[in-house]
Chains A and B, each alone.
Chain A
Amino acid sequence: MLRATRAALGKVCVLAQVNAKGVTPATLSAVSAATQLDSNVTAVVSGKTAAEAMSKVAGVTKVIYSADASIEHDMAENWTEFVTGLQKSEDFSHILAPSSAFGSSVIPRLGAKLDSQPLTNISAVHGQDTFTRGTFAGNVVTKVQMKDAVKLMTVRGASFDKAAADSGSAEISEASAGEATAGSKWVSDETSSSDKPDLESASIVVSGGRGMKDPSNWHMVDSLAAKLGGAVGATRAVVDAEWVPSDLQVGQTGKVVAPDLYIACGISGAIQHVTGMKDSKTIVAINTDEDAPIMSIADYGLVADALTAVPELTGKL
């Protein structure tokens, strides 16, 4: 008698984000996580151009898109309506989204509509119903089993390799997004215009913290990043102090990154920051305090004043 060697496979869907630069890195990681659940992944996306981009992602075998204006600009209420409608015909077993402002806004609302308890920021997949996620700023790791029939989750991008963006050829179909939610209007998007690399996709990140002492010194962080062709990151403290825009924040309540090289300038290494960068391949810390927590996770710790060491480093590269 043949015994099933694994649980029956379901139908896996990723709510995808595509912007002017292409499929977002976080979406590519979400697809990667999805393929661990099923080798056939359906991507759901806004717009035909985005659908064409998603059709080329490895692992995506079907793309459903809506051209309706209601789901443009990541409008969460309308996206929830769209996916709830799709769920009636598609009957997905798993709905994943990148752990972005979009994914975080849609998945929980979808959980309420589908009466399913979602998980945020899964960092590992163990079979069809069990996932790892961190709590308490990553100080606690939990393995959680989900019991709802449809399982919703957002994916911690830094924990999964990005699926190749140019090797698929999925079938594309169009669907209606359904009724736009009355009372919810998009007004505008103000994108931080920058020619610097994206924080979440950069292979090098130079980050600054309170050890930079004053916003007038921030140019040192910028210059080092520019020299290395990297992205700029920041701690919550300097974002809170309004030295830099909030989309630079790395950490528990900001972005989670895992570049090849992370250079922490004047950063003490509070738990809340570390959880956002501890998966970096190589970590450099420049801090006057040799006992700063960041030193214990750094591959190369330089006990020095960032205000002198950072410009020196930039100059000598």
Chain B
Amino acid sequence: MLRRTLPSSMRAVVGVKHAVDYTIKVQVKGGQVVKDVRHSMNPFDEIAMEAAVQLKEKGIVSEVVAVTIGNAKAVECVRVAMSLGADRSVHVVGDQTAIDNLETLQVAKIFAKLHEELQGDIYLMGKQAIDDDQCHTPQMLAGLLNIPQGTFAAGLTVADDKSSVTVQREVDDGHQTVNVSLPAVVSCDLRLNTPRFPNIRNIMKAKKMPVNTMKIEDLGIDLTPRTATLEISAPEARKGGGKVADVDELINKLKNEAKAI
């Protein structure tokens, strides 16, 4: 894939999702998820934003573009991104039904379409969205663009000549280090950084910054769902609440009742 930007001026594109806030204990009512609750930037996308802004502060990246795909309220998400340091933003907007039915492969295809214009040198996204828990978009975008991926990044170093990035990845039994040529997609994991809070001045500034709004139906992506949700329910509650008075009783119960030790 040819790079349009000069190696000396890297552009970071950050995917940020306006997701149900992680503190909300989501409820199922009438066979539907109650979604009219507080939303905020997906926590792993906050980490991705922080990574991009740190690269900009180090002079490695010259421009950070934040992209969100969501309903009208999702513009909040890119406003936050801009208050954290994104230079500009894109809001791909759809009505609630379109957004509810959006599948991860379609999300990736939208990003791939935007890449035609954005020409990101590095795509930074959270490793998973904590609402759908699919953990797909970064890998899919890399696959669609036929570029390398560095998933579950706990460490990230851009080469001096900006031709590649070394990613230290979280894997099941420790870490793995890979070196991937740019452009690449990197998915960000918990330990990559500690996201900053925006300050009031930047929040106010971000309110006045323009947002490039695009309608999801204008992008020429087939949004026909490949999956159908047949049933939505709350999980079976595990019975618990058993109590023991002290360590001796615990040991007794574990040995003789549960036969666990």
- Cβ of B170 within 8 Å of any chain A Cβ, yes or no, is yes
- In the assembled complex, how far is the CB of residue B260 from the closest CB belonging to chain A, in whole angstroms? 4
- In the assembled complex, how far is the CB of residue B32 from the closest CB belonging to chain A, in whole angstroms? 10
Interface residues on B, range: 35 or more
Q: Would B143 and A187 count as touching, CB distance under 8 A? A: no
Q: Please indicate the chain A residues that have their CB under 8 angstroms from the CB of B144 in the complex.
A: 112
Most B CB contacts (10 A, CB to CB) among A121, A187, A300 go to A300
- In the assembled complex, how far is the CB of residue A203 from the closest CB belonging to chain B, in whole angstroms? 9
- Cβ of B220 within 8 Å of any chain A Cβ, yes or no, is no
What is the bound-complex CA distance between A183 and B147, given in angstroms? 8
- Cβ of A176 within 8 Å of any chain B Cβ, yes or no, is no
Q: Name the residue on A nearest B131 (C-beta).
A: A136
- In the assembled complex, how far is the CB of residue A117 from the closest CB belonging to chain B, in whole angstroms? 4
Number of A-B contacts (CB under 8 A): 266
What is the bound-complex CA distance between A247 and B189, given in angstroms? 12
- Cβ of B72 within 8 Å of any chain A Cβ, yes or no, is no
Q: Would B135 and A120 count as touching, CB distance under 8 A? A: yes
- Cβ of A74 within 8 Å of any chain B Cβ, yes or no, is yes
Q: Would A74 and B171 count as touching, CB distance under 8 A? A: yes
A80-B260 contact given A144-B230, A253-B130, CB 8 Å threshold: no
- Cβ of B181 within 8 Å of any chain A Cβ, yes or no, is yes
Q: Which of B55-63, B113-121, B210-218, B249-257 contacts A (4 or more CB under 8 A)?
A: B249-257
What is the bound-complex CA distance between A185 and B169, given in angstroms? 13
Q: Would A184 and B246 count as touching, CB distance under 8 A? A: no
A253-B128 contact given A191-B174, A313-B250, A317-B261, CB 8 Å threshold: yes
- Cβ of B98 within 8 Å of any chain A Cβ, yes or no, is no
- Cβ of A192 within 8 Å of any chain B Cβ, yes or no, is yes
- Cβ of A252 within 8 Å of any chain B Cβ, yes or no, is yes
- In the assembled complex, how far is the CB of residue B23 from the closest CB belonging to chain A, in whole angstroms? 9
Q: Which of A8-16, A88-96, A291-299 contacts B (4 or more CB under 8 A)?
A: A291-299
Tell me the dominant secondary structure on chain A's binding face.
Answer: mixed
Q: Would B234 and A140 count as touching, CB distance under 8 A? A: yes
What is the bound-complex CA distance between A147 and B105, given in angstroms? 14
Q: Would B143 and A112 count as touching, CB distance under 8 A? A: yes
Q: Would A301 and B140 count as touching, CB distance under 8 A? A: no
- In the assembled complex, how far is the CB of residue A298 from the closest CB belonging to chain B, in whole angstroms? 5
- In the assembled complex, how far is the CB of residue A252 from the closest CB belonging to chain B, in whole angstroms? 7
Q: Name the residue on B nearest A311 (C-beta).
A: B247
- Cβ of B83 within 8 Å of any chain A Cβ, yes or no, is no
Q: Please indicate the chain B residues that have their CB under 8 angstroms from the CB of A143 in the complex.
A: 229-232
Q: Please indicate the chain A residues that have their CB under 8 angstroms from the CB of B147 in the complex.
A: 183
Q: Please indicate the chain B residues that have their CB under 8 angstroms from the CB of A192 in the complex.
A: 173-174
Q: Would A136 and B190 count as touching, CB distance under 8 A? A: no
Q: Would A142 and B133 count as touching, CB distance under 8 A? A: no
Q: Would B254 and A105 count as touching, CB distance under 8 A? A: no
Q: Would B178 and A140 count as touching, CB distance under 8 A? A: no
What is the bound-complex CA distance between A270 and B178, given in angstroms? 33
Q: Mark B126-168, 1 if CB is under 8 A from A, else 0.
A: 0110111111111111111001110110100000000010100
What is the bound-complex CA distance between A181 and B180, given in angstroms? 10
Q: Would B178 and A137 count as touching, CB distance under 8 A? A: no
- Cβ of A100 within 8 Å of any chain B Cβ, yes or no, is yes
Q: Name the residue on A nearest B136 (C-beta).
A: A108
Q: Would A253 and B190 count as touching, CB distance under 8 A? A: yes
Q: Please indicate the chain B residues that have their CB under 8 angstroms from the CB of A301 in the complex.
A: 240-244
Q: Would B260 and A135 count as touching, CB distance under 8 A? A: no
Q: Please indicate the chain A residues that have their CB under 8 angstroms from the CB of B246 in the complex.
A: 302, 304
Q: Would B20 and A147 count as touching, CB distance under 8 A? A: no
B contact residues vs A (CB 8 Å cutoff): 20, 22, 25-28, 33, 44, 103-105, 108, 127-128, 130-144, 147-149, 151-152, 154, 164, 166, 169-181, 184, 189-191, 225-235, 238, 240-244, 246-248, 250-251, 253-254, 258, 260-261
- Taking A76-B151, A101-B169, A147-B225 as known contacts, 10 extra A-B pairs with beta carbons closer than 8 A to each other, sorted by chain A number, are A108-B139, A109-B142, A139-B27, A145-B230, A146-B226, A242-B191, A246-B154, A300-B258, A302-B244, A313-B250
A contact residues vs B (CB 8 Å cutoff): 19, 73-77, 80, 100-102, 104-113, 115-121, 130, 134-148, 181-192, 198, 200, 204, 228, 236, 239-240, 242, 245-247, 249, 252-253, 255, 260-261, 271-272, 278, 281-284, 290, 295-304, 309, 312-313, 316-317
